[in-house]
Amino acid sequence: MTKKLRSAGVLTAFALALTACGGAKVGEADKPATTGGKECGTFNLAVSPWVGYEANAAVVAYVATKELGCKVVKKNLKEEIAWQGFSTGEVDANLENWGHEDLKKKYITEQKVAVEAGLSGNKGVIGWYLPPWLAAEHPELKDWKNLNKNAAMFKTSESGGKGQLLDGDPSFVTNDEALVKNLKLDYKVVYAGSETALIQAFRDAEKNKKPVIGYFYEPQWFFNELKLVKVDLPAYTTGCDAVPAKVACDYPAYELDKIVSKKFADSGSPAYELVKKFNWTNDDQNVVAKYIAEDKLTPDAAAEKWVKENQSKVDAWLGK
């Protein structure tokens, strides 16, 4: 055996030597073009774990790299941890912030390590959604008042005889238990526990024509696949959600905004100007999200494609 091994080793070395002669050498070919990126430097961009955010990050990173010569470092982080990153200086910008008044208070007002950088243009909507087939077949379900009549339809193995209200991406604040109680609905909140589980439930419901009602939100790439229909809860009025236990109204619409670290804002980096001026619509984001999630483009390729089609918007961000 050992003899064989030895000859195998010698053969391999020989073969390597032969094939190597024709190969290109490391460092000979294209050196990465460094286009005067001195003044931008490194730009640490937090990337939260949903595709919509990734779309924002992809486009901003692409523009910052190509146009401003920044070295963009994407950090894949949960939102909370991205906020922490402002104080340790490891995150420069968060491109899609959903409310989080408590975190704003802590990091902007109290610790003064972060500052707001304007709206992203995206509108965030949270609420209860139905799969399209169900909304088409039972249009009355779009009004919350009719939910109790149809509670039996939503019964599952998990809901203990009541209707099931599927809840729970753990990242989002939910008032649903209070809503069910205060609106006297015959439903039980079941925590799906992840966005994946929620999407899979809606997918399955649409495919197999099963009734399902659940917590969801826009903008979301999944809307490109399935146009979920929102249920109308009692309309939101300012302050109706002040006391969490007594909430009996719909979720507010969020104007999604951008947060940057204080240090980054003061640095005078052109990337900061870009982040500040960055603004686009839900449809824009959904297009890029679709490129990434469904067409399986890399974030960079998706951004490149969108930028080519929307050069005027990009020019506006760059102040051209």
Partner 1 sequence: MASITGSVEIEVRRPRRGVIVGVLLVAWVAAWFVLKGINTLALGGQETTGLHRWLTDQRDFLGGGNAFLDAIRVVVDQFVILLQAVIAQPSYGRPVPLIGWLGVVAVSAYLAWAFGNWKVAVLTAAGLTFLGLQGLWQESMDTLSLTIAAVLLALLAGIPLGIWAGLSNRAFKVATLILDLMQTLPTFVYLAPLTLFFAIGPAAATIATLIYAAPPVVRLTAHAIRSVPRESVEAARSLGSSGGQTLMKVLLPMSRSTVVVGINQTIMAALSMVTVAALIDAPGLGQTVLKALQTLDVGVAFNAGLAIVVLAIVLDRVTTAAGDRPWRTASLRRKVLLGAGAVVALVAVWFSRTYVWAADFPTGANIGSKIAVATTDATNWVQDVFGGFTFGVRDAVTKGVLNPLEALLTESPWWLVAVVIVALAALLGSWRGAVPAAVCLGLLVATGVWHDSMVTLASTLLATVVVVAVGIVLGVWTGRNHRADSWLRPILDAGQTMPPFVYLVPFLALFGTSRFTAIAAAVVFAVPVTTKIVADGIRAVPVATVEAANSVGSSTWQVISKVQLPVARRAIALAVNQGLIYVLSMVVVGGLVGAGALGYDVAAGFAQSELYGKGLAAGLAIVLLGVMLDRITQAAARRTRKFKGTARGDNLW
Pick out residues in 255-314 that bind partner 1 (CB under 8 A). Answer: 292-294, 296
Q: Which residues 130-159 are close enough to bind partner 1 by CB under 8 A?
A: 156-158
- Tell which one of 66, 138, 142, 203 touches partner 1 (CB under 8 A): 203
* CA-atom Rg of the chain in angstroms: 25
- Among 63, 64, 166, 249, contact with partner 1 (rule: CB under 8 A): 166
Task: Indicate whether 24 belongs to the interface with partner 1 (CB under 8 A).
Answer: yes
Minimum Å distance from CB 188 to partner 1? Answer: 10
Q: Which amino acid makes up residue 244?
A: P
Closest CB to partner 1 among residues 204, 309: 204
Nearest distance in Å: CB 45, partner 1: 12
Nearest to partner 1 of 44, 282 (CB atom): 44
Q: Which stretch binds partner 1 (CB under 8 A): 122-130, 132-140, 171-179, 229-237?
A: 171-179
Stretch of 7-15, 135-143, 230-238, 257-265 contacting partner 1, by CB under 8 A: 7-15
DSSP secondary structure of 51-65: HHHHHHHHHHHHHHH
In angstroms, give the least distance from the CB of 168 to partner 1: 7
Q: CB neighbours of 238 closer than 8 A, spacing ≥ 6? A: none
For 282, the token pair is: 């839900």
Q: Are 190 and 162 in contact (CB under 8 A)?
A: no
Report yes or no: 126 and 300 within 8 Å, Cβ to Cβ. no
Measured from the CB atom, is 162 or 270 closer to partner 1? 162
Of 10 and 152, the one with the shorter C-beta distance to partner 1 is: 10
Measured from the CB atom, the residue of 241 and 257 that comes closer to partner 1 is: 241
Applying CB under 8 A, does 126 fall inside the site for partner 1? Answer: no
Strand pairing report for 213-218 and 163-167: parallel
> Does 219 sit behind a cis peptide bond, omega within 30 degrees of 0 on the bond before it?
yes
Q: Tell which one of 191, 229, 240, 273 touches partner 1 (CB under 8 A).
A: 191
Instruction: With CA atoms as reference, report the closest residue to 307 among 75, 96, 55.
Output: 55
Q: How far apart are CA 288 and CA 280, in angstroms?
A: 11
Q: How far is the CB of 279 from partner 1 (least distance, A)?
A: 24
**Residue numbers 26-85 binding partner 1 by CB under 8 A:** 26-29, 31-32, 49-51, 54, 75-81, 84-85
**Looking at beta carbons only, is 158 or 232 nearer to partner 1?**
158
Task: Residue 57: name the closest of 46, 67, 43, 42 by CA.
Answer: 46
**How far apart, in whole angstroms, are the C-alpha atoms of residue 80 and residue 67?**
30
Q: Tell me how far, at minimum, the Cβ of 318 lies from partner 1, in Å.
A: 28
- Indicate which single residue of 18, 25, 36, 239 sits in contact with partner 1 (rule: CB under 8 A): 25
Q: Name every residue whose Cβ is closer than 8 Å to that of residue 52 and which is 6 or more positions away in sequence.
A: 96, 122, 219, 220, 221, 285, 286, 289
Closest to partner 1 by CB, 261 or 317? 261
Q: Which are the contacts of 168, defined by CB distance < 8 A and separation ≥ 6?
A: 174, 189, 190, 191, 192, 193, 194, 198, 215
Are the C-beta atoms of residues 188 and 159 closer than 8 Å to each other? yes
According to the binding rule CB under 8 A, does residue 244 interact with partner 1?
yes
Of 154 and 317, nearer to partner 1 (C-beta) is 154
Under the binding rule (CB under 8 A), the answer on residue 103 touching partner 1 is yes
